[in-house]
């Protein structure tokens, strides 16, 4: 196909969401498109609205912040790219559960600050949690992240928390530890991910045939966006910087094996019907949680169900989530 006549895909990247690298990895599926880098979301949406672009790929946090502008232009989020690293990391010589008392850790996300303090029992962990700005650093700057890594090496701080994607793009090489939602892998300390992490969306004009690009997009990531969007729309805004949202799709076999290993009765009862039978339907896992400022109290909800029922189930899940929030005051200031 002549490149001049090819449909264009606009790509907007950020430090934590390197959409351009993800699209480059999918280049074998995109031979019919011309790839164009975009400087900001407003420019990309303008060119999409004017027909200069056929599609726009952008970080989900930026899209959420400008959702009203997209709606006014009649643009739609039609799908998403596969998520490779939907979690934050701690760049530190110590594991998250072995941080020393009063360790200095830079972290700009309210949810993760609370999760880092969480431990079994009612006494919070003693950590000296700071913002990047306390050291005149910007967590969205690759150069500043390299400076933070040097502060760790020099012993001026003990570690810092960033999205996994930022680590690669900033060219860091210090020891890192994934902050995962699986408590078994995290020595009992669970880190339900912050919303939008590693979630890259595909935007189009209304009426675009989404089925024509399924070879290089991902239904699980699309559902992760749908869940995150619904939770944010239904949750009071004062909670938005302190809620974690985990979404994953899994086959029944591995889920059963894992649940039996750790004796997770909730999952076992969800997967096995009263007659003791198990179907082979693909399942979703949803975890939503928030914590009080010192991490000593966690409020959350977990659900497992067939993916083909997610569109209906998410309404019940968010209703239950809001009912829980209404009964527990957890909005103390940090």
DSSP structure class, residue 211: G
Is there a contact between 290 and 330 (Cβ–Cβ < 8 Å)?
Answer: yes
The more confidently predicted of residues 252 and 16 is 16
As to burial, measured by CB atoms within 10 angstroms (0-12 exposed, 13-18 middle, 19+ buried), residue 130 is middle
Taking all residues of the chain, what is their mean pLDDT, rounded to a whole number? 90
Q: Which two tokens stand for residue 128?
A: 């000296």
pLDDT tens, residue by residue, 84-122: 999 999 999 988 888 888 999 999 999 999 999 886 555
Q: What is the pLDDT of residue 188?
A: 64
Where does the pLDDT of residue 189 fall: very low under 50, low under 70, confident under 90, or very high at 90 and above? confident
- All domains of the chain in start order, with CATH: 3-83+198-217 (3.40.190.10), 88-179 (3.40.190), 231-327 (no CATH)
> How far, in Å, CA of 44 to CA of 33, rounded?
16
Q: Percent of the chain having pLDDT more than 90?
A: 74
pLDDT tens, residue by residue, 229-269: 999 999 999 899 999 999 999 988 777 777 777 677 777 77
pLDDT tens, residue by residue, 70-89: 999 999 999 999 999 999 99
Q: What is the pLDDT of residue 1?
A: 47
pTM exceeding the 0.85 threshold for the entire prediction: yes
């Amino acid at each position: 196909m002549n490149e001049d006549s090819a449909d264009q895909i606009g790509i907007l990247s950020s430090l934590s969401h390197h959409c351009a690298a993800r699209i480059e990895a999918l280049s074998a599926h995109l031979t019919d498109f011309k790839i164009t880098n975009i400087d900001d979301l407003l420019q990309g949406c303008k060119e999409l609205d004017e027909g200069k672009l056929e599609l726009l790929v952008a970080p989900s946090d930026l899209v959420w912040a400008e959702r009203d502008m997209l709606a006014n232009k009649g643009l739609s989020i039609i799908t998403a790219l596969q998520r490779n690293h939907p979690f934050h990391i701690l760049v530190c010589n110590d594991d998250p559960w072995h941080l020393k008392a009063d360790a200095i850790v830079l972290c700009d996300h309210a949810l993760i600050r609370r999760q880092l303090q969480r431990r079994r029992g009612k006494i919070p962990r003693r950590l000296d949690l700071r913002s990047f700005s306390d050291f005149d650093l910007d967590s969205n700057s690759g150069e500043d992240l390299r400076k933070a890594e040097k502060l760790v090496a020099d012993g001026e701080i003990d570690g810092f928390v960033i999205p996994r994607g930022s680590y690669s793009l900033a060219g860091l090489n210090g020891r890192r530890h994934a902050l995962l939602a699986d408590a078994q892998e995290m020595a009992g300390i669970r880190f339900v991910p912050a919303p939008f992490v590693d979630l890259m969306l595909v935007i189009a004009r209304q009426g675009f045939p989404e089925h024509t690009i399924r070879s290089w997009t991902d239904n699980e990531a699309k559902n992760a966006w749908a869940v995150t969007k619904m939770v944010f729309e239904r949750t009071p805004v004062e909670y938005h910087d302190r809620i974690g949202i985990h979404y994953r799709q899994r086959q029944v076999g591995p889920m059963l094996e894992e649940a039996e290993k750790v004796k997770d009765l909730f999952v076992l009862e969800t997967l096995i019907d009263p007659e003791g039978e198990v179907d082979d339907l693909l399942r979703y896992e949803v975890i939503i949680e928030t914590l009080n400022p010192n991490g000593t109290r966690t409020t959350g909800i977990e659900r497992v169900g067939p993916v083909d029922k997610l569109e209906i189930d998410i309404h019940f899940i968010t209703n239950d989530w809001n009912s829980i929030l209404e009964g527990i005051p957890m909005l103390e200031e940090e």
